[in-house]
Amino acid sequence: MTNIRRLGELHVQTARTKAFRVFAFAGAVFPGEWSNLYIEAITQDLLEFAFHARRVNQICDLDTKKFSSIKVLPVVISENDPGNWVENYDWALNRLMHAREFEFGNCHSDHRILFPNAESNLIPLYVKVATDQRSMETISLFGLVNCFLCVVIPEVRRRFPNWLF
């Protein structure tokens, strides 16, 4: 087994674990009073995911592959769409790695109120990121990790059928 193969396997494993966590957060409803706690947890997982997923792209030579748009949301935004959505998977990973400004975004879960006594019911939905070369752009949490789990991992398995992850 080559060192680069094992490195690739480890990056896939770690990125997948972090992607599952971000995916679970992006599909959950939280009371507004918990926002500081879950935002911190998601942010940590998201940044670790982005690092490992970007390395998967580099090691597996996927950074030039065109994936479908990551502007995929688990809900419809009826008001205050942040706009300027990043649709390219690889670009989103790069934005996260080079972030100079970072803003977390939720949507109100008016259709699924799980905490009737809370100040609000929120679904973690996106991050807005600016780099030294790009102004604020919006990245769908769901769309980003969904692309990794449903498109990138199958492509890695196709290219490297003997990899263990």
Predicted pLDDT of residue 1 = 58
Predicted pLDDT of residue 100 = 97
Judged by DSSP in three states, 159 sits in: helix
Give pLDDT < 50 ranges for the chain: none
Predicted pLDDT of residue 63 = 84
pTM of the model: 0.93
- The tens digit of pLDDT for each residue in 136-159 reads 999 999 999 999 999 999 999 999
Predicted pLDDT of residue 76 = 84
Q: What would the DSSP string read from start to end of 108-147?
A: E-TT--S-TTSS-EEEEEEEEEE-SSS--EEEEHHHHHHH
d(CA 149, CA 144): 9
